[in-house]
Amino acid sequence: MQILKIITKNALRHKLRTFLTILGVAIAILAFGLLRTVISAWYAGVEASSASRLVTRNSISLIFPLPLSYKDKIRQVDGVKLVSFGNWFGGIYIDEKNFFANYAVEPKGYLTLYPEITIPEDQKKAFLQDRKGAVAGRILIEKYRWKIGDIITLKGTIFPGEWDFVLRGIYRGRDKTVDESAFIFQWDYLNETLKKTTPLRADQVGWYMIGITNPNLAADVAVRIDKTFKNSLAETLTETEKAFQLGFISMTEAIIIAIKLVSFVVIFIIMVVVANTMAMTARERIGEYAVFKTLGFGGWHIARLIFGESLLISLIGCILGIVLTFPAADIFSSSLRTYFPVFNVATKTIYMDIGASVLVGSVAAVFPTWRAIKIRIADGLRRIG
Amino acid sequence: MGNKTFIVEIKNLFKSYRRGNQILPVLKDINLDIDEGEFLALMGPSGSGKTTLLNLIAGIDRADSGTIIVGGIEITSLSETELAGWRAYNVGFIFQFYNLIPVLTAYENIELPLLLTSLSKKERREHVEIALRLVSLEDRMDHYPGQLSGGQQQRVAIARAIITDPTILVADEPTGDLDRDSAVEILGLMERLVHELGKTIIMVTHDPRAAKMAHIIMHLDKGVLNANPQNHY
């Protein structure tokens, strides 16, 4: 009881210094939390991936297509339950700055394979029945204020021309990790148009999405699929959806490493700031610690006083930082929704915040504690008066 | 001579300090016995080793050689941890600058040494209230050191020193920072501790008036203890 009282009273001795240190920790935790959330957002696709889905693409590169004819062959591979496919469309809505993911998919299989994408039944039916139909995520609908039935025109970049789509549905994510800012339309519309304009590009798909019967056999099924197309003109590379998503992320690995590094640098800086505060505090109170020791309090008691104060300051800063992280993440998310469609402060991030502040508080207290414990009582008492 | 036991027995005590490559002897072959219930004043010029001797008796400094036995325990052979535990129960400290913890009230300062005991909160309260009555500060128990005069702070320090009913009380210039009236008041209180409670006090002082209150005055000069103490009995 008394120890907590002393710790609290000690922390409040220099109110301005303590307030500024707490503020510093809060800002550092806020920055750390946001940076970790950016990293989580980067991995959102990986998080959303399922263990029971495989992705097959051209083994040379994703930009090279695969023949449509592979669909039936893949379906016949042992362990495969369902096959769908898609193409990255890369269309621009009005202006290049309005970036959002848009791709053509074989809709029936796709929606079966991705149950986390939820569309009201009537809208789903309307989408499946309309060759020019499209569905868009909730975030896109809110951003561009689209309504069901609107004609949305995308300017093709990979597939040149003006492409008109009829908005037939709005999808939402069943889970928080689902990207709600994509635009999906029927692959048949793309393919039939290509047959008329550039027939050589028709009947080609960007990747196959494969549902498997047993997630534990994913590796075997992947090997079997790739073996089927060995020595063909378009050899395949099949991997789990997670590995496929990680493949994308690995292209930007340097950025992620840089963000991680910056997040740790932020924590290191605040650690130095808190350590400096605690060093000043301990230096000022060295005489008092000597008095405590004179009265019979051992090193453990002195350590509790210093560690307690350091941890109290950093944990209050941490709580403040965590509380600020949520509105800050909302602001961040609404301004950069296009780049980070899934931007949620994860529970893991909160744990990391707490861990970081405990680390900061503990490390900052080590040197002052060591000094306070090591000083001879007679020397400490001489500092008084 | 019989086998008389003393509350403090010091034999062949040497202490020196190192300054750079130089070794400065501070106490040279000190031999001293103090009876229980004694009020001893240690006098001497600055740098004569008075405070060092007091610190050694109180177990807050280490001797180079020799033995110190307090209350039958040879404290010169105790480890740092053992010494800390020993001090908590056996020594009450009264300092020149009171050395109260500024963020704690008078009550909390006095209670501090009891936190190391197994006493319950209620028992601690009873002890603190008795000590507060003894130093006549019941009405100031919730005051912080900064809200008390020097004399009152020293009375709180005395209450803190006696709260665990220690074997000896050591006082280092207890009136050094006080005005004349407060000094008289504090010395009167210390005398009461000796006469009424049978406490043993070892006091370091420069002040001859303070020393006169003691039963015995011993002089230290250049680390050597005067062999002829002045007896005030």
A191-238 pLDDT, tens digit per residue, is: 999 999 999 999 999 999 999 999 888 999 999 999 999 999 899 999
**Closest alpha carbon to A193 in A158, A148, A239, A234:** A158
The two three-digit tokens of residue A352, written as one number:
């990391």
Q: Supply the pLDDT for residue A248.
A: 76
Among the partner residues A1, A293, A376, nearest to B84 by beta-carbon distance: A293
Q: Supply the pLDDT for residue B228.
A: 63
**Closest alpha carbon to B187 in B166, B167, B201, B168:** B201
Q: Supply the pLDDT for residue B229.
A: 67
**Secondary structure tally for chain A: helices H, strands E:** 15, 12
Is B16 near chain A, with CB under 8 Å?
no
Query: Considering only alpha carbons, which residue of chain B is nearest residue A385?
Result: B97
In chain B, residues with a C-beta closer than 8 Å to the C-beta of A295 are 87-88, 93, 112-113, 116, 160
Q: Is the pLDDT of residue B233 over 70?
A: no
Cα dihedral B76, B77, B79, B82, rounded to 10, equals -80
Cβ separation A6–B103 shorter than 8 A: yes
CB pairs under 8 A between A and B: 69
Q: Supply the pLDDT for residue A170.
A: 96
pLDDT tens-digit series, residues A137-174: 999 999 999 999 999 999 999 999 999 999 999 999 99
Query: Considering only alpha carbons, which residue of chain A is nearest residue B160?
Result: A295
Write out residues in chain A with pLDDT < 70, as ranges: 1, 338, 384-385
Q: Supply the pLDDT for residue B180.
A: 87
How far is Cα A309 from Cα A322, in angstroms, rounded to an integer? 20
Report B:97-126 residues touching A (Cβ under 8 A): 97, 99, 101-104, 108, 111-113, 115-116, 121
Q: Which of B78, B101, B128 to mutate to test the interface with A (most CBs of A within 10 A)?
A: B101
Output the CA–CA distances (angstroms, integers) from residue A85 to A104, A124, A180, B40, B123, in the order listed. Answer: 8, 18, 20, 99, 80
In chain A, residues with a C-beta closer than 8 Å to the C-beta of B46 are none
Among the partner residues A10, A377, A385, nearest to B97 by beta-carbon distance: A385
Q: Closest approach of chain B CAs to the CA of A278, in angstroms?
A: 17
Task: Catalogue all structural domains in chain B, each as residue range(s) with its CATH number.
Answer: 35-62+78-231 (3.40.50.300)
Cα dihedral A258, A261, A267, A270, rounded to 10, equals -70
Cβ separation A6–B101 shorter than 8 A: yes
pTM of the model: 0.76
**Closest alpha carbon to A309 in A27, A23, A21:** A21
How far is Cα B112 from Cα B102, in angstroms, rounded to an integer? 13
Asked whether A70 and A229 are in contact (CB, 8 A), the reply is yes
CB atoms near residue A151 (< 10 Å)? 11
pLDDT band, very low/low/confident/very high, at B44 (cuts 50, 70, 90): very high
How far is Cα A337 from Cα A172, in angstroms, rounded to an integer? 15
Q: Is the pLDDT of residue B230 over 80?
A: no
Query: Considering only alpha carbons, which residue of chain B is nearest residue A13?
Result: B103
pLDDT tens-digit series, residues B19-43: 888 989 999 999 999 999 999 999 9
Cα dihedral A130, A131, A135, A140, rounded to 10, equals -120
Q: Supply the pLDDT for residue B176.
A: 87
Cβ separation A381–B58 shorter than 8 A: no
How far is Cα B159 from Cα B165, in angstroms, rounded to an integer? 10
Q: Is the pLDDT of residue B232 over 70?
A: no
Q: Supply the pLDDT for residue A341.
A: 75
Average of per-residue pLDDT across B53-61: 94
Q: Supply the pLDDT for residue B1.
A: 46
Is B61 near chain A, with CB under 8 Å?
yes
Query: Considering only alpha carbons, which residue of chain A is nearest residue B101?
Result: A288
Q: Closest approach of chain A CAs to the CA of B233, in angstroms?
A: 32
Q: Which of A15, A289, A292, A294 to mutate to test the interface with B (most CBs of B within 10 A)?
A: A294
Using DSSP, state whether A335 is helix, strand or coil: helix
Asked whether A193 and A94 are in contact (CB, 8 A), the reply is no
How far is Cα B216 from Cα B95, in angstroms, rounded to an integer? 20
The residues pairing with B225 across neighbouring beta strands, listed in sequence order, are: B220
Average of per-residue pLDDT across B213-231: 84
The two three-digit tokens of residue B163, written as one number:
């709260």
